[in-house]
Every structure is written in structure tokens, then in C-alpha cells.
Amino acid sequence: MSAENELLGMYREWLRLARAQTRAIQTHNWSFHADCHRAVESFQREAVRLTRAAREEWARDGRDCSEKEKNFRGPVNELITIARQNQRLLDEAVQGGRERLVQLGDAGHNLKRLQRSYGFATSTARAA
């Protein structure tokens, strides 16, 4: 198989993983998201290697690299769009987590106040 075909196949798989990451974020499946993220990092390294190999093939065959690279603009642009969307979703999830943490902290403080209040009332009732 040519490096160009491998690269196109790799981009298709990368797009599938990026979409799976979106679903993982939306469903708060952080373990699956982490697995997808590791795989995407691997694809990034592989894309560099395959791009070099494809360019070497094109040069050997006397093809115009810039013309051939146009075939990859669509998938690359879609990956960029999905990555930005995923980052936005992650930012929203982090913000939601921070808000929930504040709510839980407030609830904890309220619980401590109630405990002190009832603890004081119980010890006062026993003294009487």
C-alpha cells in the first residue's frame, strides 16, 4: 500500500476517533475519552511519518506535492473543527465541575453549621 493511501486511511480512522471523543465527553465517559486521546496522540505521530513518506513517493514519481496535499485538506480541516468543538465541550465540563464543587463546598459548610447548631442544642438540653 502506498504511503498516500495509508495516510488517507489513517485520517479516516482519526476522524472516527475524534467523533468518539466527542461522544465520550458528552456522556462524561472520561476513561473512554482518555483512551481515545492516547490513540489520537499516536495518530499525530503517525501522520508526521506518513506525510514524509507520501511526499517522498510523490517526489520520486515527479508529482506536485502541493497539488497532492490538497486531497488532505478536507479531513485535516474537519479534524481541526472537531478538536475545537471537543475543547469547547471539555471547557464546559470543567466549568460545570467547578460549579458543582462550589455547590458541594457550600452544602458541606451548611451541614457543619447544622451539626454545630444541633450539637449546641443537644448539649444545652442535657444541661437543663
What pLDDT score was predicted for residue 81?
A: 97
| pLDDT reported for residue 117 | 84
Spans of the chain, pLDDT less than 50 = none
**8 Å CB contact between 110 and 103:** no
- Look up residue 65 and give its three cell numbers: 506535492
Secondary structure letter of residue 128 according to DSSP: -
Helices marked H in 61-72 — which ranges?
65-69
Instruction: Give the per-residue pLDDT at 126.
Output: 56
Read off the pLDDT of residues 1-14 as tens digits, 9 standing for 90 and up: 899 999 999 999 99
How are the residues of the chain apportioned to helix, strand and coil, as percentages rounded to the nearest 5? 90, 0, 10
Tell me the Ramachandran region of residue 2: left when phi exceeds 0, alpha when psi lies from -120 to 50, beta otherwise. beta
Nearest-10 Cα torsion for 47, 52, 53, 56: 160
> How far is Cα 27 from Cα 21, in angstroms, rounded to an integer?
10
